[in-house]
Amino acid sequence: MLLYNSLTNKKEELLIKSQKVNLYICGPTVYNYIHIGNARPLINFDVLHRVLKLYNYKVNYIHNFTDIDDKIIAKAHEKKINEIELATYHMQAYNNDIKNLRILKPTMQPKVSDSIPQIIKFIEKLVIQKDAYVVNGNVYFRTTKHLDQYGKISNLKIDDLSNDDLNNSEKENPRDFSLWKKTDFGMNWKSPWSDGRPGWHTECVVFNDEIFNSETIDIHGGGVDLKFPHHENERIQWIAANKKPLAKFWIHNGQVMLKNTKMSKSLGNTLLLKDVREQHGVMALKYIILNSHYRGPINVTEETFTNAKIIINKWKNNLQKIQNYLQTKNLYDTNSIDWISCTDISWVTFLKYLNDDLNTANAIMVIDDIIKKIQNIKDNSIINTKFLIINKMLETLGLLLDIQILTNNDIVLLNEWNELKDNKNYKEADALRSLLAEKGIL
Ligand SMILES: [Zn+2]
């Protein structure tokens, strides 16, 4: 499989030595419901997860929770509730969103509040090695020691790496970033330097260190917004601590724009995932996201949702008709196909696109094409095979259309309906039609 590596700015072959893939996707800061921009990496990288599983890889998918952060503390303070309570509520809401998105679950979801001793130990190591320094109870990473590596993911020169703490005069260099912050506002912990809490960029490094035993992992990813500062700062800490790469691949998905403006909480133009789910359905959202290359931006409008819903419904209706046809004619055969060696041209083309840097948009074109063509096929066994292939393609993209498998009773009713139509008994046929439509079969 070819994947675009942000570190080298080119597509590279993803070479996996064992049957196991270690994948880390940076997770949410839990102080709010997620918007569809936050859902995009979940949907895009779920396809990567599914493709790897298709090839029988065991995927160790780690997706963390940032449950300690200034934004959480500020919001909890504003709402006059406990920070843990706020974070716990939003972690549950997030997992509910994951469930509703019907993506494959992360293997582990480590959270910061469980790892403070490990984070302190890690920062101590950096201080001892002089990769970090202490001023007034605060600890900063010394970027000047690693100028040859810092900025490689975002492709920025050191002078372009602005951070929101540039004017902090206690730092040796304006580009240095905070590892430990002395504070008595909100939750804080004792450390060798002060009572305080860790900066955002150390947690993922420590989780990687702990979970993967300081080994270089296969893929580290997230939204393009994370390239700098988060991923640069993660990477440089890891290199300082472990003297080797954090990940072989760094992958990033593009932004979601709402009516041509970047979707962001601070601009107040967000579409919350839970609202989109109610209004349009999750599969329409997944269709929109997957019908575009994951690295590029997506612009979302009302019209995009309307179009996505039309296509999803069209696919669903056509596929249910085929399911009904195969079952009522007793032709439905789910004899499993060996998907790795399957030579069906549509299937091979579909995989070729996904193996070329997850080109889900082209993969969707293959699905659309095969759904159109299957209706003209006369040979029943080919219809059955193509139908199984379409279902597997949809499953591989996580586009789950819930085509109903008929019960014996449904089959009797469908056959009865067909007979009534053939005998031009339209009144009774219509009544039966309503019943079948209610069941979602017609
Ligand atoms: Zn991270």
DSSP one-letter string for 22-41: EEEE---BSSS--BHHHHHH
What's the 201 CA to ligand 1 centre distance in angstroms? 7
19 CA from centroid of ligand 1 (Å): 25
**Residue 304 to residue 307: CA distance in whole angstroms:** 5
Query: Residue 125 C-alpha to ligand 1 middle, in angstroms?
Result: 20
Q: Rounded to the nearest whole angstrom, what is the distance from the C-alpha of residue 119 to the centroid of ligand 1?
A: 14
Residue 423 lies in a domain: yes
Distance (Å) from CA 207 to ligand 1 centroid? 9
In a domain, 193, yes or no: yes
Give percent of the chain above pLDDT 90. Answer: 92
Q: Is residue 378 part of a domain?
A: no
Q: What's the CA-to-centroid distance between 208 and ligand 1, angstroms?
A: 10
Ligand 1 mean position, distance from CA 156 (Å): 19
Q: How far is the CA of 220 from the centre of ligand 1 (A)?
A: 9
* Close Cβ partners of 396 (under 8 Å, ≥ 6 residues apart): 47, 50, 51, 54, 350, 354, 363
Q: How many domains does the chain have?
A: 2
Burial class of residue 431, CB neighbours in 10 A (0-12, 13-18, 19+): exposed
Is 300 domain-assigned? no
d(CA 427, CA 61): 55
CA–centroid distance, residue 356 to ligand 1 (Å): 26
CB 75 within 8 A of CB 86: yes
Q: Is 358 within a domain?
A: no
Q: How far is the CA of 301 from the centre of ligand 1 (A)?
A: 30
Centroid of ligand 1 to alpha carbon of 74 (angstroms): 21
Last residue of a domain, one of 189, 221, 253: 253
Burial 236-253 (b: 16+ CB within 10 A, else e): bbbbbbbeebbbbbbbbb
Residue pLDDT, tens place only, 10-31: 999 999 988 999 999 999 999 9
Task: Please report the pLDDT score of residue 363 as a whole number.
Answer: 98
Least confident of 158-172, 381-395, 426-440: 158-172
In the Cβ-directed half-sphere of 240, how many Cα atoms lie within 13 Å? 28
Ligand 1 centre distance from Cα of residue 421 (Å): 60
In sequence order, the β-bridge partners of residue 356 are: 2
Q: Is residue 399 part of a domain?
A: no
Q: 314 alpha carbon to ligand 1 midpoint, in Å?
A: 39
Residue 383 pLDDT exceeds 80: yes
- Dihedral over Cα of 10, 52, 41, 362: its sign: positive
Q: How far is the CA of 219 from the centre of ligand 1 (A)?
A: 12
- Residue 26 Cα to ligand 1 midpoint, Å, equals 4
Report the C-alpha gap between 148 and 267 in whole angstroms.
35
Residue 401 alpha carbon to ligand 1 centre in Å: 33
What is the arithmetic mean of pLDDT over 33-46?
96
Q: What is the pLDDT of residue 164?
A: 67
Domain presence at residue 340: no
pLDDT in tens, 121-166: 999 999 999 999 999 999 999 999 999 999 999 988 766 766 667 7
- pLDDT of 436 above 80: yes
Q: What is the mean pLDDT of the chain?
A: 95
Q: From ligand 1's centre to the CA of 403, what distance in Å?
A: 37
Helix (H), strand (E) counts: the chain: 14, 13
How far, in Å, from the CA of 246 to the mean position of ligand 1?
12
Q: Determine, yes or no, domain membership for 240.
A: yes
- Choosing from 194, 226, 253, the residue where a domain stops is 253
The mean per-residue pLDDT over the stretch 86-102 comes to 97
- The enclosing H or E element of 138 equals strand 138-141
What letter represents residue 222's amino acid?
A: G
CATH number of the domain that residue 94 is part of: 3.40.50.620
Q: What is the pLDDT of residue 161?
A: 67
Report which of 87, 127, 112, 131 is spatially closest to residue 210, judged by C-alpha positions.
112
Geometric angle at alpha carbon 226, from 214 and 31, rounded to 5°:
95
* Res 162: pLDDT: 65
- Domain termination residue (choose one: 209, 230, 253): 253
Give the structural domain span for 132.
2-253
